[in-house]
Structure 1
Amino acid sequence: MFTMKTKQAEQTEKIGEQLANSLKPNDVILLDGDLGAGKTTFTKGLAKGLGIKRYVKSPTFTIIHEYREGRMPLFHMDVYRLEDGGGDDLGWDEYFYGDGVSVIEWSQFIQDYLPEDYLRITLKRNDESDNQRTLAFDAQGERYTTLLNDLKEDLK
């Protein structure tokens, strides 16, 4: 487990951009936290780091946005609407074991479909000014332990 704080949205985005430098196809990043915690802001940074120029917004109503023009595809998922189920036919394995990076917001709602190994990032607002965040990183599996260690080195 690794925890860090940011003081503004740009810092949260920059950490996502740094992480993108070490990402490989089939990587799975889980982003959890309350509404407005910075999950999509973090994903914008990931997209930028992957060379994606399109505007990144939360796929709340479409569930999945695919961005294919970067160094590798980014599959951005917001599964909040699947809280009561309904994700059986979305082809999770095609995303998780495809040619890109999968980023899943609200991952607890599809826990049964997730791969065994992943990097979970829990984002939490620290103040009422809506600027400060705490990011808690939890690596599951050897690949993600290495990824997290690389990120810690990059952020020094």
Structure 2
Amino acid sequence: MSDTPHHTVTLPLPDEAATAALGRRLGVLLRPGDLVALRGDLGAGKSALSRALIRSVTHEDAEVPSPTFTLVQTYDTAIGPVWHFDLYRLSGPDEVYELGWEDARAEAVALVEWPDRLGPLLPPDRIEVTMEHDGPDARRATLTGHGALAARVAAADWTL
């Protein structure tokens, strides 16, 4: 168990509209330099959550493709640059540097699917979002703010 501050909130997401609402809430909370670690099985809603978040800080009809094949997509947004990483196909943490990792960490909000692939590069100050199936269309999201982001998660309004 880590001794860094943390705060956890669990939210039911009965449908995709609730997942989108959570994405919008996260979009309001984030600032350049923040990292959101997105955890969950395939099909758990990580990409849907990311898409809603990115649309909330760009525009509603923004094209937001999954970074599954490109490994990273970048966006100019109202909260600064957002880099959306999908690290599923990485074989080791060092490969993330080839994707512009240092630039993303210096200037952008980083959304990271499959954050375990970062190994020791996963920063102590982060928001972890674990998406789980809670029925055919329903999901459950567990958000944990770690380190410097714990207070922000604790103070946020998570009413969806």
The TM-score normalised by the length of structure 2 is 0.85
Query: Alpha-carbon deviations, 1:73-109, whole Å to 9, x = none?
Result: 1100000001x223343332211121x2110001011
**Which residue of 2 is the match for residue 79 of structure 1?**
87
**Which residue of 2 is the match for residue 91 of structure 1?**
100
In 2, Cα distance between the equivalents of 1:149 and 1:57? 31
Match of 1:117 among 122, 125, 131: 125
Matched-pair contact (CA < 8 Å) for 1:34–1:124: yes
Count of residues in Structure 1 that have an aligned counterpart in Structure 2: 150
Matched-pair contact (CA < 8 Å) for 1:7–1:132: yes
Matched-pair contact (CA < 8 Å) for 2:30–2:79: no
Matched-pair contact (CA < 8 Å) for 1:67–1:74: yes
**Which residue of 2 is the match for residue 133 of structure 1?**
139
Distance 1:122 1:154, change over 3 A: closer
The TM-score normalised by the length of structure 1 is 0.87
Matched-pair contact (CA < 8 Å) for 2:32–2:79: no
In 2, Cα distance between the equivalents of 1:94 and 1:115? 15
Sequence identity percentage: 28
Matched-pair contact (CA < 8 Å) for 1:7–1:133: yes
- Equivalent positions of 1:18-57 (< 5 A) are 18-52=25-59, 53-57=61-65
**Which residue of 2 is the match for residue 63 of structure 1?**
71
Q: CA RMSD in A?
A: 1.7
- 1:80 aligned counterpart, secondary structure: coil
Distance 1:89 1:58, change over 3 A: same
Higher RCO by CA contacts (8 Å cutoff, separation 6 or greater): 2
Distance 1:108 1:91, change over 3 A: same
Q: Which consecutive residues of structure 1, in runs of 5 or more, have no partner in the other structure? A: none
